[in-house]
Amino acid sequence: SQQGEEDPQALSIQEGENATMNCSYKTSINNLQWYRQNSGRGLVHLILIRSNEREKHSGRLRVTLDTSKKSSSLLITASRAADTASYFCATLEVDRGSTLGRLYFGRGTQLTVWP
Amino acid sequence: NAGVTQTPKFQVLKTGQSMTLQCAQDMNHEYMSWYRQDPGMGLRLIHYSVGAGITDQGEVPNGYNVSRSTTEDFPLRLLSAAPSQTSVYFCASSYSNLPSYEQYFGPGTRLTVT
Q: Give the per-residue pLDDT at A102.
A: 75
Q: Which helix (H) or strand (E) holds B37?
A: strand B31-38
> For chain B, which residues lie within 8 Å of any Cβ of chain A, measuring from their own Cβ?
4, 33, 35, 40-45, 48, 50, 56, 58-59, 90, 92, 97-108
Residue A19 C-alpha, separation from nearest chain B C-alpha, in angstroms: 20
Q: Give the per-residue pLDDT at B39.
A: 83
Residue A17 C-alpha, separation from nearest chain B C-alpha, in angstroms: 26
Measured in Å, how far apart are chain B's first and last C-alpha atoms? 36
Q: pLDDT tens across A46-76, in order? A: 999 999 999 999 999 999 999 999 999 999 9
Q: Give the per-residue pLDDT at B98.
A: 66
Flag if A105 and B43 touch (Cβ within 8 Å): yes
The residue among B89 and A4 whose pLDDT is bigger is B89
Find the closest chain B residue to A50 by CA distance: B100
Q: How many CB atoms lie within 10 A of CB B69?
A: 10
pLDDT(A99) > 60? no
A10 in contact with B at a CB cutoff of 8 Å?
no
- Beta strand spans in chain A (E): 5-7, 10-14, 19-24, 31-37, 43-50, 55-58, 61-66, 71-76, 85-94, 101-105, 109-114
- pLDDT category at A6 given cuts 50, 70, 90 is confident
Instruction: Give me the tens of pLDDT residue by residue for chain B, a chain 114 residues long.
Output: 789 999 999 999 999 999 999 999 999 999 999 999 998 778 999 999 988 999 999 889 999 999 999 999 999 999 999 999 999 999 999 987 665 678 899 999 999 999
Measured in Å, how far apart are chain A's first and last C-alpha atoms? 39
Partners of A30 on chain B (C-beta within 8 Å) are 98, 100
Q: Give the per-residue pLDDT at A29.
A: 83
- Measured at the CA of A76, the angle between CA A73 and CA A81, to 5 degrees, comes to 140
